[in-house]
C-alpha cells in the first residue's frame, strides 16, 4: 500500500503545488522518510462555513513535524461540496496527530479544535460519502444571536442566546442602554440573560476579546427588548 500511497501523493502534490504560494514554507512532507501512512478523507470548515476554496489547506502534525498536507480540490457534483484527501505519514504507531488550517482568503493559519487522532498504519478515516470534518478555530465574522428579546416565559426568545461562544478564548460581554449606561457585563456568559428588570427598548451588545489563536476581535450589535405591558 505504501507504493500506492506514494504515487497518489506525488500526483496530488503536482496538481496542487501551485496553490501553496502563501502557505507557510515549512508545510511540506517527504513520504520517502516514512514507512507507514494513513488516509483521511475530509472537508474543511473555515470561518464556520464549509470551504469551497481549493486554496484552503489542512495540515497534519506529529509533534512539531509536518506529516501531511491537503486542499479541498475534489469536487463532488452529487453533493455540491469540495473534499480533501489528507495522507498522513509516520514511522511510529499510535502517536497523536494534530491539525492546522490555512484560510487562504484571509491569509490566516489557525489550530483546528479537532481532538488529536492517533496514527494507525494503513488506517482510513472518512469517505467521499461521509467525510471527516475539520474546522478552524476562527470565530465567526459576525456573531449569531437572537436580536429580539421577549422574556414572557413562553420559551421563545426569553433569553439572549449567542452561538459558538466556545470558540472565544477570552472575552467580555457588555450590554448598554441607549444612554450609554452599562446594564450588564460578564466574562463567562451562559446564555441566560433576559433583561427582565429593564425597560422596553433598544440595547447595544459589545463583545471584545481574543479567539483561540489570540487574535483580537470586537462585535457591536443591536438588541431589541420587548416585554408584556
Give 15-44 pLDDT, tens digit per residue: 333 333 367 888 999 999 999 999 999 999
> Residue 107: its pLDDT value, please?
85
Give 189-203 pLDDT, tens digit per residue: 999 999 999 999 999
Architecture field, domain 148-225: Sandwich (2.60)
Is 148-225 in the same CATH topology as 33-135?
Answer: yes
CA-CA distance, 88 to 100, in Å (whole number)? Answer: 13
Domain locations in the chain as residue ranges: 33-135, 148-225
Point out which residues pair with 42 in neighbouring strands.
84, 132
> Residue 213: its pLDDT value, please?
65
Q: What is the mean pLDDT of residues 159-167?
A: 83
CB-CB contact of 82 with 51 (8 Å): yes
Query: What is 33-135's CATH topology?
Result: Immunoglobulin-like (2.60.40)
Give 198-217 pLDDT, tens digit per residue: 999 999 999 988 876 677 77
DSSP 30: -
CB-CB contact of 44 with 132 (8 Å): no
> Residue 7: its pLDDT value, please?
41
For the record, the C-alpha cell of 74 comes out as: 475534489
Least confident span in 3-12, 122-131, 184-193, 197-206: 3-12
Amino acid at each position: 500500500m505504501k507504493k500506492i500511497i506514494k504515487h497518489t501523493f506525488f500526483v496530488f502534490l503536482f496538481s496542487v503545488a501551485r496553490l501553496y504560494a502563501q502557505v507557510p514554507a515549512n508545510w511540506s512532507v517527504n513520504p520517502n522518510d516514512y514507512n507507514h501512512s494513513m488516509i483521511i478523507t475530509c472537508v474543511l470548515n473555515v470561518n464556520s462555513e464549509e470551504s469551497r476554496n481549493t486554496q484552503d489547506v489542512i495540515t497534519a502534525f506529529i509533534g512539531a513535524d509536518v506529516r501531511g498536507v491537503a486542499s479541498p480540490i475534489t469536487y463532488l457534483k452529487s453533493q455540491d461540496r469540495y473534499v480533501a484527501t489528507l495522507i498522513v505519514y509516520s514511522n511510529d504507531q499510535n502517536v497523536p496527530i494534530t491539525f492546522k488550517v490555512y484560510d487562504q482568503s484571509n491569509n490566516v493559519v489557525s489550530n483546528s479544535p479537532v481532538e488529536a487522532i492517533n496514527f494507525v498504519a494503513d488506517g482510513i478515516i472518512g469517505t467521499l460519502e461521509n467525510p471527516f470534518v475539520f474546522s478552524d478555530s476562527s470565530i465567526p465574522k459576525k456573531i449569531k444571536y437572537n436580536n429580539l428579546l421577549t422574556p414572557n416565559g413562553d420559551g421563545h426568545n426569553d433569553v439572549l442566546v449567542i452561538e459558538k461562544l466556545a470558540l472565544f478564548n477570552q472575552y467580555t460581554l457588555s450590554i448598554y442602554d441607549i444612554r450609554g449606561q452599562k446594564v450588564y457585563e460578564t466574562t463567562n456568559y451562559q446564555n441566560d440573560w433576559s433583561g427582565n428588570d429593564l425597560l422596553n427598548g433598544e440595547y447595544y451588545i459589545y463583545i471584545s476579546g481574543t479567539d483561540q489563536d489570540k487574535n483580537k476581535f470586537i462585535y457591536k450589535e443591536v438588541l431589541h427588548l420587548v416585554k408584556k405591558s
